[in-house]
Amino acid sequence: MGGASNLKYYSLAILLSVIFSYIARKRKVLKILFYLIIIFIFAVNMFLWLVFGTTISPLIFQLVAETNGRESAEFINAFAFSKGAFITYISVILLTAFIVFIEKKWKKIKEKEWLQKRYTTAILGCLSAFLLLTGLYNTKLYYTLYKCQTYTDLEKWLTKNLPFPMDSFTSIVYSIHAFNATNNKIKIAANLAKDTYRQPVTDEVNDSINIIYILGESFIKSHASLYGYKLKTTPFMDAEQKKGNLVAFSDVVAPFNLTTLVEKNTFCCNSLSDGEEWYQTPYFPILFKKAGYQVTMWDIQRDFSKYALFTFSVNSFIYNKEIKKYAYSYTSDKSFLYDGDLVDDFFKSKASRLEKKNLLIFHLLGQHISASDRYPHTKYFSKFSYKDINRDESYMTKDKKQEIAEYDNATLYNDYVIKKIAERYADKTTVMIYFSDHGEEIYDYRDSKGRKNAGSSGVTHNLVKYQYEVPFVIWFSTPFMEKYPNLVKSIRESKDKPFMTDNVCQILFHIVGMKTKWYKADRDLISPHYVPKKRMIAGVDYDKYVKNR
């Protein structure tokens, strides 16, 4: 697959080279201009790679668009004389010299005897024709890119055209288009953030309270002992459920199997079932901050695959300068290897000094592929091995069993991280919501791991089950249970109601009694006025397709 994809981009590059060469043939000015553009693109890509480990991407265009004169001067001072910059300068000089040399010697090169031979001409002619026809066929790539008007379209386009590398021209076209497609909606969301913060927002909480919101990653619900898995992967949550401090909801699904889309649609107040887009409604932390809460965001995925489209798309929203100003009191600005390190950093930070009312947001890496990288390989967290996986499907091997065991170890570590957070606030009036952005596959019913699309076989019951059904729990401290018994009763009575996580903010609004026009009781899972709605996921009605099979 990689070879075919590379051929696609090589053939496009050759086709574009032939077109530019033909245009510039009789006009020296155009030839010089084309060479300058090519050298400039080469220099930018080399500099970005050597200094930052990336190439031209949508994020680069965003950074350029947001950079002012002072920041440009600081950038030049910081990197213009770096080792990577000097290598780039030398490479540009060598490339320019090579181009000048080839231009001067081109006539003599063409007259070389071996190039005049028939078999050489035939081979080069056939190869050129093949590459040009292949390039011509692949120009449809630009048309399909042009038709992408939303992030979802771009994500599908990107998936279809993986793996990389792209040629430089295609990379630039894609980056500009992706930046523009994302930026338009971000502007609307940023303006709405400003308008929302101007409106009065209050709650009914008179005493101190801590709301903890944890967004997990790639948690397969059926791999949690909390939901009946044979291995003890969630000992803390199991124990808290037994004590009565935790409610595990049985019928919750994610709207998407992509983190970026889940983040946008769970952090905003929109309801997908009602046809609302995320950018048309406020980012819910803004409402909490306006109501007097200290709002903190500790996000381990902020720098994860920093230059990829999915990271660019979500970061350009939740860390937009305007939105950030209205949404947070503190945010994390470091990178971490493990989720536990992220939590430890928060506990050491100024942000951990609680105010009267607090909204603490944690975004974890959870069990993100590859699961082996998501937990410290200590004796306690390396609890399971291939020997614990009793599976005998024809595709199952020892190595695959080990991968499943490592996923279960990552699930055990995830439970430990949740425990670490909960125990810190167990003696205070605290309620915590934890759910995963989406599910995953780890050889559960087919020879596949990760989140591969349905493909030619279409959406299946198992694909929806493993990739879209998610664990969803609400934990409350004993002081919270004593202070809000009716609220705890409502939460317990709602545990088997059908729900989709795009409306999770409505539960938070209910818990604190938020007075805002964005609270909708019919979308609030723990409200007596809750009305379950059609849950469309992966293009199918989940309740008809999965539950009623």
Q: What is the mean pLDDT of the chain?
A: 87
Distance between CA 440 and CA 129 in Å, rounded?
A: 44
The mean per-residue pLDDT over the stretch 29-45 comes to 87
Q: What is the pTM of this model?
A: 0.78
Q: How does pLDDT run across 486-525, given as a tens digit for each residue?
A: 999 999 999 999 999 999 999 999 999 999 999 999 999 9
Q: Is the pLDDT of residue 63 over 90?
A: no
pLDDT of residue 26: 73
pLDDT in tens, 71-99: 566 666 777 888 888 999 999 999 999 98
Q: Rounded mean pLDDT of 180-209?
A: 88
Does the bond joining 163 to the residue before it have cis omega, within 30 degrees of 0? yes
pLDDT at 62: 64
Lowest-pLDDT choice from 110-124, 176-190, 302-316, 427-441: 110-124
Domains and CATH numbers, the chain: 2-182 (no CATH), 203-547 (3.40.720.10)
Say if CB 325 and CB 178 are below 8 A apart.
Answer: no
> CA torsion sign, 352 to 354 to 355 to 357?
positive
Own/partner pairs for 287-290, CB < 8 Å, 24+ apart? 287/196, 287/201, 287/509, 287/514, 287/516, 287/518, 288/211, 288/359, 288/508, 288/512, 288/514, 289/197, 289/326, 289/327, 289/328, 289/329, 289/359, 290/196, 290/197, 290/199, 290/201, 290/326
